[in-house]
Structure 1
Amino acid sequence: MTTSPQVKAGKREWLGLAVLALPTILIALDMSVLHLAVPHLSADLDPSSTQLLWIVDIYGFLIAGLLITMGTLGDRIGRRRLLLIGAVGFGAASVLAAYSTSPVMLITARGLLGVAGATLMPSTMSLLRNMFHDAKQRNVAISVWMAGFVLGGALGPAVGGVMLEYFWWGSVFLLGAPVMALLVITGPILLPEYRSEQPGRLDFLSVLMLLVGVLPVVYGIKEYASHGIEATSSLILAVGLAICAAFVLRQRNLESPLLDLRLFSSRTFAAALAVLSLSMFVMAGAQFFLAQFLQMVSGYTPMEAGLLMLPISVMMVIGIMASPGLAQKIRPAYLMAGGLAIAAVGLFILSRLTEDSGIGMVIAGGAIMSLGLGPTPALGTGMVLATAPAEKAGEASAIQETAAELGAALGIALLGAVGTAVYRAQVQDSIPDGTPEAATAAAEDSIGSAVAAAEDLSGDTKESLLDAVRTAFTDGIQISYTASVVIALAIALLVATLLRRVTPTLEEEGEAPQPEQKVTATGDQAR
């Protein structure tokens, strides 16, 4: 049946939005909560250093590698169906992770969580595209969805800290089971089913190529963030990029491609993707340094640092939620550009941080930055969905999320590499005489290693080493935040130039609105 784009969403759709926010909050929370549990599970399971890396990273790797595949699959088999299948899988994998008795078992469970998580994100966003046909309502719905993701990440340290205070480490994973059970129960009642009427055949070779291509890219970028630019990680990254290029070439010749390259023919779609990726680049890099500053320089515990960053996340939520209303009065491109200029002010404040800076300066700079960055993901995501055909909503949302994932990883890697380079150059000349060789080597590697090594020292040697590495670290982040100011202003100029013709409905002037294509609806879920 054909649904008019003028139909307003009713009570059922808004209740459905609340249901769709559940997995979004949980996925973000699950990404942040594990880091608090690492010391506890390490003491219990005794994983090797390699196993511990896989426990932490495999979840994000598989989500990044499978997003596009799952988004396209949802368009083919039904977005609600894929969402509910993913919810069952996520709940079961959460229980498996909670009661893991070995590192291998936990790695397997985390991998299954990643596979299931990849089904949830594009399914939820693409359902929003079809549930909210009115542009104003859809923009509000996207903002609520985005705010849920931000809040989930912000609440992770607080929720995880409480769980670990009273229960064992596996309890942090059990949060997923009741949430997903609620989704499975309420989803069939409140969420409609949508699928393409002419889905085409799923090309499994393309699925394999995409996974095998994206994983080395993400791994290589993460290695840059952890160890700097090295030959091995560069080779792995190059192999991944080559496979991704071959994947794109294959899509050009397929009748039913896994990735429809025609989506990129829309200037708004392509420009919005670029802006989203670059804004995530700045956001992730900035938050990465803030977390380290609070813990390594100011001396807060991970949970305390997470709680202190909560006001910063709340300001981003305010920026996101205010965007739909403001976009009706201010052209979206100018609202996003203005927000990025405000974010640059916050980044400038953070670029003035020293080892003696108080928590007020940290929160003020971070809050201004987050408030300014809020409109970009809210409105940019809306542009991506508004300019994509309705039958491609799952694919478009998956592309957007993949771009955001890669942008965030690149931000941490490249801005981190800048900060690390400055740190290492500075610290080599400032390590106090008499520092043991092992502690010196640790200090030259990273501030985290230096702080850990300093625990074995005492007296003036310990304090002098900590003063030296903290000064070198703040010198490094000052340069990185200064670079972020320049990048934020450059993105603002890019937005104001490339997206200036986008209207408050988040469609480009002169383009006909994308028609709501015929979709398959089941039973009383028909709209």
Structure 2
Amino acid sequence: MTRSNPSAIAAPARAGAREWGALAVLMLPVLLISIDTTALSFALPEIAVALQPTAAQQLWIVDAYSLVLATLLVAMGNLGDRVGRRRLLLIGATGFAIVSVLAAFAPTPELLVAARAAMGLFGATLMPATLALLRTTFLDRGQRRLAVAIWATAFSVGAAAGPVVGGLLLAHFPWGSIFLIAVPFLVPLLVLAPLLITESRDPAPGPIDPIGIVLSMLALGGLAAGVKELAVAGLDPIGVALVAVAALAGWLFVRRMRRRANPMLDVALFRVPQFSGALVVNLLSVVALTGFLFFVTQHLQLVEGLPVLDAALVLVPGVVAMIVSGLAVVRVVRAVDPGIAVVVALGGSAAAYGILAVLGEDVSIAGIVGAFALLGIGIGAAETVSNDLVLSAVPPAKAGAASALSETAYEFGAVLGTTLLGGLVTAVYRSTLALPAGIDADVAAAARETLGGAIAAAPGAGGAADAVVEAARTAFDHGVVATSALGAGLMLVAMLVAFRTLRHPAH
């Protein structure tokens, strides 16, 4: 009797042309969502002049999108596992395109914040579906690692390229144009996804858990809103209450998941070091990226005085470095332990923040180019490795839930990047701003809100206009120094987590 070859039977099918075409389609929402997360960076000064938002509204315009996204990702990942990931992807793409057009023509800060929140709602349906479909499309380990590298690189590059794309558009069109880029991304997706992407879902999803969904939303949304409130308003009762509600909801959620036979999220995964460690590295990497972009884009335009297009071009070398690093790490980890590779790469990111912290207001444009390139090397490698390890820790049927957690870490990183690092810039700016005596009260009030507000209001100070602008720029750079020191510390924490959890991963 002839025995079959077990290894041949167990070998997973390798992807062909259709699967790689599907990857190209799945990159469209990834690029769009990540670009949309940071494209506002260069538009903030123009929005500040056109809509005159307060400092809090300005942060909400940036964060409402990521906050809603982070709140709903686990619920939407679970929904995609049940109703079909491709179906949810198409629903989300349609809604996102419609709301993006509405955001482009928002006449007030309040309506723009509302539109950004609605974009977050539909974005939450897109992101878990893309990574989960990638997990079920590429079954071969080597091919999947390359696909994840391309996917993660697209995510990181989209976030880094967002300000560049925004700068190119704003050089020729009004600020609303940055939202209209959704249309050329999503129309091809709606046409090609049914042709190239195979539907997938959890074959045994179990009953819908509405209580678990509500608890997950309270935990994630409460934490994001609470951290934001504490960063903006300080240690106030509202922020403390929100964090307390989030902690209680999170505890109840974990307790419920542990007791259910078929939970919407297997919390036992967090006991796997490579899974939990990869999520932390993912989160801290995005904090570093979005926080850096938040203040550097303003520094280039409002302190250095660069036109928006020139300021955007300063970031191009860093985007290229991120692309190269994200793809090159696939080969590197064949010979080097993944954890060690991430530690070395993140060392560059820590150095990037160190450059800004040491040089402070004396940093040159060349120094910013070099710092962002170092940051890009670390982020590109960390995102590829962390997402690959997250997917490797779960079976294909649970890819949606695992993908949702990875995306949740990303979006919380985006929220924390602008909230913590951006909030620290604002706090130091206000505490160190030394305005000339005797200027108009309205001018002083506008100057204390934001750097952009100070520059816009300075002409109202008459002969003291130049002094107002100089004081605002100096105070802003003091904020950049303090924030850069914090950013360097966060990268050191990410290096420690990677060293302790990502070495010698079990596949």
Give TM class, smaller chain.
Answer: 0.7 to 0.9
Contact 1:136–1:324 under 8 Å retained in 2: no
1:245 partnered with 2:251: yes
Q: Does 1:20 align with 2:62?
A: no
Native 8 Å contact 1:157 1:303 kept in 2:
no
Distance 1:4 1:291, change over 3 A: farther
Q: Which residue of 1 aligns with 2:415?
A: 409
The aligned amino acid for 2:90 is L
Q: 1:124 aligned to 2:130?
A: yes
Question: Do structure 1's residue 290 and structure 2's residue 296 form an aligned pair?
Answer: yes
Counterpart pick for 2:188 among 182, 190, 193: 182
Q: Return the alpha-carbon distance in structure 1 between the equivalents of residues 111 and 450 of structure 2.
A: 31
Residues 124 and 4 (structure 1), Cα distance of their counterparts in 2 relative to 1, 3 Å cut: farther
The counterpart of 2:281, out of the listed 275, 297, 300, is: 275
Amino acid corresponding to residue 339 of structure 1 in structure 2: A
SS at 2:461 equivalent:
coil
Structure 1 regions of 5+ residues with no counterpart? 503-507, 514-527
The answer to whether the Cα contact below 8 Å between 1:350 and 1:366 also exists between their aligned partners in 2 is no
Is the alpha carbon distance of 1:223 and 1:102 closer, same or farther for their aligned partners in structure 2, counting shifts above 3 Å?
Answer: closer
Secondary structure class of the residue paired with 2:335: coil
1:197 is aligned to: 203
Corresponding residue of 1:68: 74
Identity %: 38
Tell me, which stretches of 5 or more residues in structure 2 are unaligned? 1-8
Give the AA of the match of 1:23. Answer: P
1:454 to 455, 458, 469: 458
Residue equivalent to 2:352? 346
State the distance in 1 between where 2:406 and 2:417 align. Answer: 16
Q: 1:89-126 deviations in whole A, cap 9, x for unaligned?
A: 32343445556788887666544432221111111111
Aligned pairs (5 A) from 1:112-511: 112-160=118-166, 163=169, 171-300=177-306, 304-427=310-433, 430-440=434-444, 446-459=450-463, 461-502=464-505, 508=506
Flag the structure with higher helix content: 2
Q: Which amino acid aligns with 2:338?
A: P
Partner of 1:524: none
Separation in 2, partners of 1:160, 1:474 = 23
Deviation at 1:239, TM superposition (A): 2.5
Distance in 1 between residues matched to 2:471 and 2:111, nearest whole Å: 42
Quote how far apart the aligned CAs of 1:405 are.
1.9
Which whole-Å deviations, capped at 9, do the CAs of 1:294-353 have from their partners, x for residues lacking one?
233223355543342233222222211211011112111111011111222222212123
Q: Distance in 1 between matches of 2:430 and 2:52?
A: 31
Describe the superposition over 1:355-389 as per-residue Cα deviations: whole angstroms up to 9, x where unpaired: 34321111111211221232111101100000112
Cα distance in structure 1, aligned partners of 2:165 and 2:289:
23
RMSD (CA atoms):
3.3
Cα deviation for residue 393 of structure 1 reads 0.7
Q: Tell me whether 133-142 or 393-402 shows the greater mean CA deviation.
A: 133-142
Look up the equivalent residue of 1:243 and give its one-letter code: A
Cα displacement (A) at 1:133: 1.8
User: What is the aligned partner in structure 1 of residue 6 from structure 2?
Assistant: none
C-alpha separation between the residues in 2 aligned to 1:451 and 1:44?
14
1:265 maps to a residue whose letter is R
CA gap of 1:4–1:462, structure 2 versus 1, over 3 A, is: farther
- Does the CA contact (< 8 Å) of 1:225 and 1:412 recur in 2? no
CA positional deviation for 1:199:
0.8
Deviates more, 1:391-400 or 1:295-304: 295-304
1:439-486 CA deviation, whole Å, 9 max, x = no partner?
Answer: 555555554444344342244x33333333333332332233233323
More deviation, 16-25/236-245: 236-245
- The count of corresponding residues between Structure 1 and Structure 2 is 500
Q: Which residue of 2 aligns with 1:84?
A: 90
Structure 2 letter corresponding to 1:323:
V
CA change 1:331–1:158 in 2 (3 A) is: closer
Specify whether residues 228 and 473 from structure 1 end up closer, same or farther in structure 2 by C-alpha distance, changes over 3 A only: farther
Instruction: Give the match's secondary structure for 1:388.
Output: coil
Q: C-alpha offsets along residues 138-173 of structure 1, whole Å, 9 cap, x if unaligned?
A: 122112112222333344445445555666665544
Greater CA drift, 80-89 or 232-241: 232-241
Deviation sequence 1:498-527 (CA, Å, 0-9, x none): 22212xxxxx1xxxx4xxxxxxxxxxxxxx
- The Cα shift of 1:175 comes to 3.0
Q: Is the 8 A contact 1:139 1:324 kept in 2?
A: yes
Task: Find the aligned partners of 2:264 and 2:78 in 1 and give their Cα distance.
Answer: 6
Q: CA, structure 1 residues 56+201, in 2 after alignment: closer, same or farther (shift >3 Å)? A: same
In structure 1, distance between residues paired with 2:348 and 2:71: 33
Tell whether the 8 Å contact from 1:316 to 1:373 is kept in structure 2 after alignment. yes
Q: Residues 77, 228 of structure 1: CA spacing in aligned structure 2 closer, same or farther, 3 A cutoff?
A: same
TM-score by length of 1: 0.84
Measure how far apart 1:61 and its partner are: 2.7
CA positional deviation for 1:212: 3.2
